[in-house]
Amino acid sequence: MSIILVLIFLVLLFIGIPVVFALGLSGLIVLIMNPELSADLLAQRMFTQLDSFALLAVPFFILSGALMERSGITHRLINFANTLCGHITGGIGHVSVLSSLIFGGLSGSGTANASAIGSILIPPLKKKFGAGFAAALQAAAAGLGPIVPPSIVMIIYGSMVGVSIAGLFIGAIIPVIIMAIGFMCYVYFYAKKIGMVPEQRESLKGVAIATRKAFWALMAPLIILGGMLLGIFTATEAGVIAVFYSILVGVLIYKELTWAKIIEALQDTIRVNGQIMIIVASAAIFAWVLGFDQFPSQVVQFIQSLTENGLLTLLLLVVMLILIGTVLETTAAVIIFAPVLSVLVPAYGFDPIHFSVLMSIALIIGGITPPVGIFLFITSGIAKVNLLVSSRYVFPFVLIMLAVIGLCIIFPDLITFLPTMLLSD
């Protein structure tokens, strides 16, 4: 049954059916074909999947990111990043990486990163680096958004497999910082290669002014993570706190958030959250059919027949998920494969947080690689460059992300150290 399900799904994709509908339709067709099952399961499983307290965090974090984007926080973050690293060779490229890293800590969304930061920084990036490199760099930087906490992808992953969402957030901190440093190193050497001249260093007074202006924006991730670590609120409650914080900062401190902008943010949130939730619901029936057919246990048996070495198993899974991520939207891939792969955790004795963070990062790489590559698609549109052109520039960034995954496989403490230290009783 699993093979039939996958074949129907691939055929629907091939004839041009959108992924979200291909997932639901393939599951429905298999239910109708199987006399042991009822088509009524479609609605039941879709509703059950959405009936999750943890998933409530998703719309709240989307809304907080939309509010912060409209309250002047984005510009202040970019100005702050520029005072810190704008003087280094390739300055505007470093600003792109650092701004995306910080903004990801506010929105948890790669698409928000790609559009909000990209719309501001891609025009000056084009002047310095060219359109293709500008789109690729901003897409890669946007990919940091779903990794740095509060990651929406990890909220969905954690809710699916019952892993501590706070643990996933904290476990991703060191890998995402290493990735950001790797991106900035590559930008530096690329800028040297094309003969870019560094800008003048900002004065200490200028740094102090930019820091003061961005202070309330920089406090948001600290409040969110700090509250979760101290047990004051859950990930879902943290999303609510983030929304109220965004409104307070935007209205009372920066005084740029108006009723019209709040309504715009709500409209964007409804649209984006609707897209995510329909993917979650459609992928649920697909994943349920795989589970009913005992596909997860078959995967475990197949992988164990190939190797019993945990390190090699992780490498095989990372390669598989990267390939999956190139053709399947990240959220859908998480819903489908998280329950399947989670059975490998006890089978191989993997640390749940280490395994989940690795799998999440591997899927997120698909967001910057063709043919789906939603982040690259957005930034290429802003840069007004053909996707094939920008694709040529993105692979060095993919290699950096792969290198970080490799480091985390060899040295698991890069992921597990902070959760063990901060969340241990």
Burial (CB count <10 Å: 0-12, 13-18, 19+), residue 127: exposed
Separation of alpha carbons 66 and 114, rounded Å? 13
The token pair that represents 371 in the structure block: 């043919």
The amino acid sitting at 39 is: A
Q: Which long-range contacts (CB under 8 A, 24 or more apart) does 410-416 make?
A: 410/311, 412/351, 412/354, 414/174, 414/175, 414/178, 415/171, 415/172, 415/174, 415/175, 415/351, 415/353, 415/354, 415/357, 415/358, 416/171, 416/351, 416/353, 416/354
Q: What is the DSSP string of 15-55?
A: TT--HHHHHHHHHHHHHHH-TTS-THHHHHHHHHHH--TGG
The token pair that represents 3 in the structure block: 């093979």
Who contacts 81 (Cβ-Cβ below 8 Å, separation ≥6)? 94, 95, 98, 99, 102
Instruction: Kindly report the three-state secondary structure assignment for every residue of 281-311.
Output: HHHHHHHHHHHHCCHHHHHHHHHHHHCCCHH
CB 95 within 8 A of CB 78: yes
Separation of alpha carbons 25 and 23, rounded Å? 6
Q: Would the pTM count as exceeding 0.85? A: no
Helices 259-292 & 19-33 angle (0-180, nearest 10): 30
What local confidence, expressed as pLDDT, does residue 397 receive? 93
What local confidence, expressed as pLDDT, does residue 307 receive? 75
Q: Running DSSP on this structure, what letter comes out for residue 379?
A: H
Separation of alpha carbons 40 and 297, rounded Å? 26
What local confidence, expressed as pLDDT, does residue 107 receive? 66
Separation of alpha carbons 242 and 275, rounded Å? 21
CB 68 within 8 A of CB 250: yes
**DSSP three-state, residue 230:** coil
What local confidence, expressed as pLDDT, does residue 52 receive? 67
What local confidence, expressed as pLDDT, does residue 176 receive? 92
How many domains does the structure of the chain reveal?
1
197 lies in which domain range?
A: 2-423
Continuous segment of H or E residues that includes residue 312: helix 310-327
**How does pLDDT run along the chain (425 residues), one tens digit per residue?**
677 877 887 788 778 777 777 877 887 887 787 777 776 777 777 777 677 666 777 788 778 778 877 887 777 877 888 887 877 888 888 888 888 888 776 666 777 777 777 777 888 888 888 889 999 999 898 888 888 877 888 888 888 788 888 888 889 999 999 999 999 999 999 998 888 777 777 777 888 888 888 888 778 777 777 777 677 777 678 778 888 888 888 888 888 888 888 898 898 888 877 877 777 777 777 777 777 777 666 766 777 777 778 788 888 888 888 877 776 767 777 877 787 777 778 877 888 899 888 888 888 887 788 766 778 878 888 888 887 888 889 899 999 999 999 999 989 999 999 888 887 65
